[in-house]
Chain A
Amino acid sequence: MEVTPAGGAPGSQEGPAVEPPVELPIDAVRPPRPGRLIGAAVALLFLAWLAYTVIVNENLHWDVIVSFLGDGRILGGLWVTIQLTVLSMVIGLVLGVLAAVMQLSDSPVFRGTSALYTWFFRGTPLLVQLIFWFNIGLVFPSFGIGVPFGGPKLVEWQANELITPFTAALLGLAINEGAYMAEIVRAGIRSVDPGQREAAEALGMSHRQVLRRVVLPQAMRVIIPPTGNQFISMLKTTSMVSVIAGAELLTVAQRIYLGNFEVIAMLIVASIWYIVLTTIASVGQHFIEKRFERGHAALGARVRRNLRPFAKEPA
């Protein structure tokens, strides 16, 4: 049977040249949505009323709030909050990677140790842990380096000197955070295709090289978003340290209102700074995630390729 070319079919393409496609604009009328309008009106009215009551309320002492926003003691507390957040996140991340790697190892002892760690620190309240670390001197009056199980010591420190509110806070926050980061890191490592590990091992890489050069860099894409959430949450969690007088933002605000009785005003000052910190962190998180979303690799390539003509100019 003979196949006729499409154009040669009888009577098909014989008229004038192809007409331009007809434009069919859509200019549809929206159906009325009275429910939405009424809802919006109610919401706006409520917000206006809320703003009004807050602004005209004399018990809120807006002048005091404004004058204390830049107070030296408050800024000092703010700085401690930032330090505690960053340090405990960094230490927590290291502990988390360690615990996650142990959890995925062949050795039952490593797996057990890691499981015990996450089980205990996720199973007890952070508040209790903080008070515990602060009072650790009651259990272990001194720390030393030497022969374990009651042998002689080379160096020895008194717990009372070592454990300040800051170190107790850092210990509590970091060790607790590590237990949560372990889960996040483990999920990240799990997300990497096992074939990656095999390809790296086939090149003769050691376990540690496989982890550092191949697995962890790829796990980062999965690890980064929840770590951002942990960071934001940690900014606020540091306020718990106020139970051991950690000298961070909330502790400082409390100390001030014990003197001037401006309880609500000081709490609002602290809250404003917490909101500023979490907002900045959220914006940062948004940008970091955007970068990692966009096919991390392809983005780098695009940037480099676009830059090449300029880089290669002097030749």
Chain B
Amino acid sequence: MTAGQAEPMVKIRSLRKRFGAVEVLKGIDLDVPHGQVVCVVGPSGSGKSTLLRCVNRMETIDSGRIWVDGDLMGYAERGDRLHLLPPADLCRQRRPIGMVFQRFHLFPHRTAIENVMEGPITVLRTSRAEARRQAEELLERVGLADRADHYPAQLSGGQQQRVAIARSLAMRPKLMLFDEPTSALDPELVQEVLAVMRDLAATGMTMMVVTHEMGFAREVGDQLVFVDGGVIVERGNPREVLANPRNDRFRAFLGQVL
């Protein structure tokens, strides 16, 4: 590691993940320092989503270790053995990790503001009044104060994704995971979501972003990681690696997406 920063926000060591007979992640090592934005790129099926889902323990892992803010995900270390954490502790570990999905997954039976209030009320036991106040603030921040009482079905894709980001932020996360947040959007709606993410990065939020938006990676990313076949084949400063990619497969991949 270069900087004098102590522990990174996310530390991944020798991560392996199998689905049945297929090994999807074949030994991933990755550090995400506090306040940095790491962009993960790679061809379809290379394991990018799986990598993110392992970080917040939506998937179990087959070997390796993942720490988030110094907390070993999914296990307690007692003596020289690992013990699987009970479900309540998994929920507690997930709480400070926000996740934004490609297809938004807003709760369709709740309005925009109710979506944002859901986490604090149900999980953090915040009072309704306080949750509403925070939610109004967050919707303001993503530019949707005037859409608070709309249901997801009444919002455009870009607006839905911004509500989804606000919903995650309502849990006061220390880490945000984005899984292709703009891939399901019409081209003219992509920028409004990227703008919100750019603002978020500027506040010092630590982010892992799976994306095909190389412009965003170049501009906002502190680190770019190219995953192919379940391993990281190229990594570095986005501006440098995009300007002169060393790996052949990365170069071929860039030829397709740029």
> Which residue in B122, B164, B171 is a CB contact (below 8 Å) of A209?
B122
Say whether B257 faces chain A, with CB atoms less than 8 Å apart.
no
- Taking CB as reference atom, which chain B residue is nearest A218? B109
Question: Hey, what's the 0/1 contact readout for B86-109 against A, CB within 8 Å counting as 1?
Answer: 011001101101110101011111
- Determine the distance from Cα of A72 to Cα of B114 in the docked complex, in whole angstroms: 51
Mostly, the A contact residues are helix
Question: Does B154 lie within 8 Å of A205, measured CB to CB?
Answer: no
- Determine the distance from Cα of A153 to Cα of B154 in the docked complex, in whole angstroms: 60
- Taking CB as reference atom, which chain A residue is nearest B152? A297
Q: Which residues of A contact B92 (CB under 8 A)?
A: 204
Take A201-B58, A207-B87 as given contacts and tell me if A196 and B151 are in contact as well, using a CB distance cutoff of 8 Å. Answer: no
Say whether B18 faces chain A, with CB atoms less than 8 Å apart.
no
Q: Which residues of A contact B58 (CB under 8 A)?
A: 198, 201-202
Q: How many A-B residue pairs lie within 8 Å, measured between CB atoms? A: 79
Question: Does A209 lie within 8 Å of B153, measured CB to CB?
Answer: no
Most buried by B among A198, A199, A206, A213: A199
Say whether A10 faces chain B, with CB atoms less than 8 Å apart.
no
- Taking CB as reference atom, which chain B residue is nearest A210? B122
- Determine the distance from Cα of A218 to Cα of B106 in the docked complex, in whole angstroms: 12
Say whether B206 faces chain A, with CB atoms less than 8 Å apart.
no
The 6 closest A-B pairs by CB, nearest first: A204-B95, A199-B105, A297-B151, A202-B99, A195-B105, A203-B119
- Subset of 28 A-B contacts with CB under 8 Å: A193-B105, A195-B103, A196-B107, A199-B101, A199-B167, A201-B58, A201-B94, A202-B56, A202-B58, A202-B94, A203-B168, A204-B91, A204-B95, A204-B119, A205-B91, A205-B119, A206-B87, A206-B88, A209-B123, A213-B118, A218-B107, A297-B108, A297-B109, A300-B151, A301-B149, A301-B150, A304-B149, A305-B149
Question: Which residues of B does A touch, CB under 8 Å?
Answer: 56, 58, 87-88, 91-92, 94-95, 97-99, 101, 103, 105-111, 118-119, 122-123, 149-154, 164, 167-168, 171
Given A195-B103, A205-B123, A300-B151, 13 additional A-B pairs, CB 8 A: A193-B105, A201-B58, A203-B95, A203-B119, A204-B119, A204-B123, A209-B123, A214-B107, A296-B109, A297-B108, A297-B111, A304-B149, A305-B149
